[in-house]
Amino acid sequence: MTDMNQKLFRLAPNLNICRVVNGMWQVAGGHGNIDRESALADMLRYHEAGFTTWDLADIYGPAENFIGEFRNRLIEQKGVKELDKIQSFTKWVPQPNIITQSMVKKSIESSLSRMRVSSLDLLQFHWWDYNNAYYMDALKYLSDLKNTGSIKHLALTNFDTEHLQMIIDSDIQITSNQIQFSIIDRRPEVKMISFCEEHDIRLLAYGSICGGLLSERYVGRAEPSAIELDTLSLRKYKRMIDTWGGWNLFQNLLLTLSDIAKKHNASIANVATNYILAKPTVAGVIIGVRLGIVDHMNENANVFAFDLDNSDRDSIDAICGKSNDLFEVIGDCGDEYR
């Protein structure tokens, strides 16, 4: 178990991160209108509070540009040294077609330019279709760019254990795999965690508070309709809850989490985050932020103030024992995308 009072984690040599990572999918649309100035002001507040690690992607609308503009403002307001405190992790999510060296170079150059950096802290690679074997070419070209310094650390997102194994067997060094991991979606516990432990690979978890469904807001509430669920994130994880065991079982889980949260003077979202952060090989939990719209920053900071005990974990696991096995229904990590 990890000491929960530690906010920082050494993801790789020369790469310390905040264990609660700010997720930027929310600026890509489907989560309300993002006002650029309010978003940039919020980014500064998160940064000043120590939430210095950002998760983004080439496909998250203006997310990479936000990082670029934010870096500019940090230089103006605090000086260039302040940039040493930020870690920004982007993704490359290409179409599963033929991949050439020049395509890879062009895509990475585009991210470098939008983010206004000379080297990417962590590049997370996603691939939609394992039947198309060009992902291995892509990873080899990305490794070359790591050797030239355009990428500091190479990582994956949504890869299953079998393909992660094939990549490691090809001598490609992988720092982390970003995957869905929550009290509801425990598929990483079946194979991924033990493989990562063996190969010194870290996990970055997303969806750990199910888009906000794992919170006081939904305790005792009737099952929400699709219209009531007004973000892409809420709709995504509601589908996961339906597959997991449905709304009644979810309500039992929320009541249990609510009791645990009260005991620790914390919130349900804190308990859900803390539970995943304490799992082996988990470096951080990415929590989506609706910059300039909704602010959970101070509440989420509380995750570092307590540790769950064995009885807390036992009561959570007892409810999950009544759910469907998502590994059986969906498959390994990332299979929901394929």
Residue range at the interface with ligand NAP (CB under 6 A); choices 40-48, 64-72, 191-199, 288-296: 288-296
Q: How far apart are CA 59 and CA 39, in angstroms?
A: 18
Q: How far apart are CA 303 and CA 266, in angstroms?
A: 8
Shortest approach of ligand NAP to residue 204 CB, angstroms?
8
Q: Check: CB of residue 283 under 8 Å from CB of residue 11.
A: yes
By beta-carbon proximity to ligand NAP, the closer residue of 117 and 234 is: 234
Shortest approach of ligand NAP to residue 157 CB, angstroms?
4
By beta-carbon proximity to ligand NAP, the closer residue of 144 and 335 is: 335
Nearest CA to 278 among 247, 309, 301, 248?
309
Shortest approach of ligand NAP to residue 252 CB, angstroms?
19
Q: Which of residues 26-45 bind ligand NAP (CB under 6 A)?
A: 26
Q: How far apart are CA 150 and CA 324, in angstroms?
A: 43
Shortest approach of ligand NAP to residue 165 CB, angstroms?
20
Shortest approach of ligand NAP to residue 189 CB, angstroms?
18
36-48 and 63-78 helices, crossing angle to 10°: 60
Q: How far apart are CA 252 and CA 240, in angstroms?
A: 16
By beta-carbon proximity to ligand NAP, the closer residue of 188 and 288 is: 288
Q: Residue 338 has what DSSP assignment?
A: -
233 binds ligand NAP (CB under 6 A): yes
By beta-carbon proximity to ligand NAP, the closer residue of 120 and 210 is: 210
| The amino acid at 171 | D
Q: Are strands 15-18 and 8-12 parallel, antiparallel or unpaired?
A: antiparallel
Q: Which of residues 237-266 bind ligand NAP (CB under 6 A)?
A: none
* Distance linking the first and last C-alpha atoms of the chain: 32
300 binds ligand NAP (CB under 6 A): yes
By beta-carbon proximity to ligand NAP, the closer residue of 102 and 275 is: 275
Place of tokens 């509070």: 49
Residue range at the interface with ligand NAP (CB under 6 A); choices 219-227, 258-266, 290-298, 312-320: 290-298
Q: How far apart are CA 43 and CA 25, in angstroms?
A: 14
By beta-carbon proximity to ligand NAP, the closer residue of 23 and 62 is: 23
Instruction: Give me the DSSP letters along 192-228.
Output: HHHHHHHHT-EEEEE-TTGGGTSSGGGTTPPPPPTTT
Choose which of 9, 25, 70, 181 interacts with ligand NAP (CB under 6 A): 25
Three-state secondary-structure class, residue 179: strand
Q: Which of residues 162-221 bind ligand NAP (CB under 6 A)?
A: 178, 206-212, 215
- Site residues (CB under 6 A) for ligand NAP? 23-26, 55, 157-158, 178, 206-212, 215, 231, 233, 267, 269, 286-288, 290, 294, 296, 299-300
